[in-house]
Amino acid sequence: MPRKKIEELTSADFPGVDPARFEEWKAQQLRFWQAFNRHFLIMIPVIVVPWIFRNALGALLFFGGFVAWICYMLLYARPMRLQADALGREIGIDKAALKRALTGR
Question: Could you tell me the CA-to-CA distances from 78 to 21, 51, 56, 67, 68 in Å, in that order?
Answer: 21, 28, 31, 15, 14
Q: Look at residue 52 and tell me if it is in a domain.
A: yes
pTM for the model stands at 0.76
- Determine what percent of the chain falls in helix, strand and coil, rounding each to the nearest 5: 80, 0, 20
Looking at residue 58, what is its pLDDT? 79
Q: Look at residue 13 and tell me if it is in a domain.
A: no
Looking at residue 94, what is its pLDDT? 86
Q: Look at residue 36 and tell me if it is in a domain.
A: yes
- Quote the domain boundaries for residue 61: 18-92
Q: Look at residue 97 and tell me if it is in a domain.
A: no
Q: What is the pLDDT along the chain (105 residues), one digit of tens a residue?
A: 578 888 899 999 888 899 999 999 999 999 998 988 888 888 887 777 777 777 888 788 788 888 888 888 889 888 998 999 999 999 989 888 888 888 877
- The structural domain count of the chain equals 1
Write the DSSP assignment of 38-60 as a string of letters.
Answer: HHHHHHHHHHHHHHHH-SHHHHH
